[in-house]
Structure 1
Amino acid sequence: MEEKPTLSYFINTGMYIINPETIDLIPDDTMFHMTHLVEKVMLRGGKVGTYPISEDSFLDMGEFEEMKRMEQKLNIISDK
């Protein structure tokens, strides 16, 4: 048993860099998740890579409370 272990794992930050020709694999006029695009590229033998970043390098603002924490960390004063 380990008291208060430090956990380390990868998460998706939602930031992507793709080659222009990869856009042609995305169907027109329909919702298409990036995870499906990644799978499609891999099935065709294409390369998919990841770039690890530290928790201190990434600021989440997916919810209002997280955005407020980000503003505090960056010393940004919100008008609201």
Structure 2
Amino acid sequence: MEDDQEASTSAVNISRFDVSKHLDKEEVIADYINAALEEGDSDLLMVAIVDVAKARAGDDSVAIGMDRCQSYQSPCSR
């Protein structure tokens, strides 16, 4: 029973998965965009495009505008 108590009180560190860190080759990027296109979901495609832009920029600066656009539930007008 002590093992059960230890397991329930121990903290688990989980980090957020950032796909943009894995989009490091043109073939991988093409596969990722094609998979988003196959889903037929324009919101998913927009997220995939932002992920690619983040991967190419190397930081999160691209995502800031995306978050604002998503909060309004409408396409970003730039």
Q: TM-score band (shorter)? A: under 0.3
Structure scoring higher RCO (CA < 8 A, sep ≥ 6) equals 2
- TM-score (norm: length of structure 2): 0.24
Higher helix share: 2
- TM-score (norm: length of structure 1): 0.24
